[in-house]
Amino acid sequence: MKTRKLRGLTVSAIGMGCMGFSHGYGACPPESESIRLMRSAYEDYGCTFFDTAEVYAAYENEILVGKALKPIRDKIILATKFMPEVFLPGQEIPEGKTSRRGLRNAVENSLKRLQTDYIDLYYEHRVPPNRDVAEVAEWMGELIKEGKILAWGVSEATPEQIKRAHSVTPLTAIQSEYSIMERKVEAEVLPLCKELNIGFVAYSPMAGGFLSGKYSSQSKFEGDDLRRVITRFDPKNMEANQSLLDLIKKFAANKNTTPAQISLAWMMCKNDFVVPIPGMRRDERLKENFGAAEVELSAKELAELEEALSKITIHGDRKDSDIQKLGTVKTVATH
């Protein structure tokens, strides 16, 4: 597969978001199947970038990812995250989790669960609104010097937070939601990343699967499936957003590709420092999503698509506050 640069890290042009193997999108595959799919991503498609977090199913996803990737650990780039203000079992630090000791405790335990002695890319999963991100930046710098992590990033950070953090310890990547349906980062965050030479990792690049065109207003989402509370999946909004799917399907037909591949190629052709990390839990999804790395949109095609998109209104969104309502002791439902 083609590769891209996240500052100093070289990763496959498309990575694998691993959260869905443990929770968040309905019934999960058996452990053995999840492990097979993660290894297939590397062995059959050249994916070298895998993303997890301590909070995904309260440690379970990190444990699963660590087990799956252990045989190829030296061949891949592994990313995980710590959630500053969500306390999980074993994180009762007197000074609070957002402290030097709290961060060190979090990274040490992630290392154990992932069965590795270093983490390639370690994110602050969210930036608490009343905390100075420079503190975490300083502590991340210490971990980099010690070799426990190779690089660091933040998720869903504002431009001001990015600048502040980057001035203390240079950021390697920003991870935020980005797709044809959710483009708020295009206003300030993506231009800032380009200016500062910071990579951008796009989570939910398929908008929870909506952009694949495989769901309809009749689809049912149950259990801890995040789409129960993401308003884009409200039946009325799905019907209202059909014009977007029709547009993408039209472009896909002209390119002899799929809507999913057009959706991923669209963001990669716009910026060479953007790396999407879609979730995928079937062999056909691996083939389809990783195949998007070979789809090229010409300047003319991209301009035509952008012009058509400018005339479409997106209905519904995805809010952390809504998603967190699904959280339980075992499953903290957030990306």
Whole-angstrom distance, CA of residue 219 vs CA of residue 235: 8
User: Locate tokens 């989570």: which residue?
Assistant: 203
Helix ranges restricted to H, the chain: 31-45, 60-69, 100-113, 133-146, 159-168, 189-196, 235-240, 242-255, 259-270, 283-291, 299-309, 320-323
Question: Which of 42, 56, 59, 178 does the annotation list as catalytic?
Answer: 56
Q: Which amino acid is at 210?
A: F
The two structure tokens encoding residue 74: 């030296």
Active site residue 56: yes
* Beta-sheet strand order (sheet of 49-51): 16-17, 49-51, 77-82, 119-124, 149-155, 173-177, 199-203, 274-276
In angstroms, the Cα distances linking 332 to 60, 201, 225 are 11, 21, 12
Q: Which of 296, 304, 300 is nearest to 265 (CA)?
A: 296
Whole-angstrom distance, CA of residue 306 vs CA of residue 272: 17
Q: Which amino acid is at 68?
A: A
In angstroms, the Cα distances linking 104 to 214, 231, 264 are 42, 37, 35
Q: Which of 46, 44, 36 is nearest to 15 (CA)?
A: 46
Phi then psi dihedrals of residue 262, to 5 deg: -65, -40
Q: Please, which residues have CB within 8 angstroms of residue 178's CB and are 6 or more apart in sequence? A: 185, 200, 202, 203, 204, 205, 267, 274, 276
| Residue numbers annotated as active site | 56
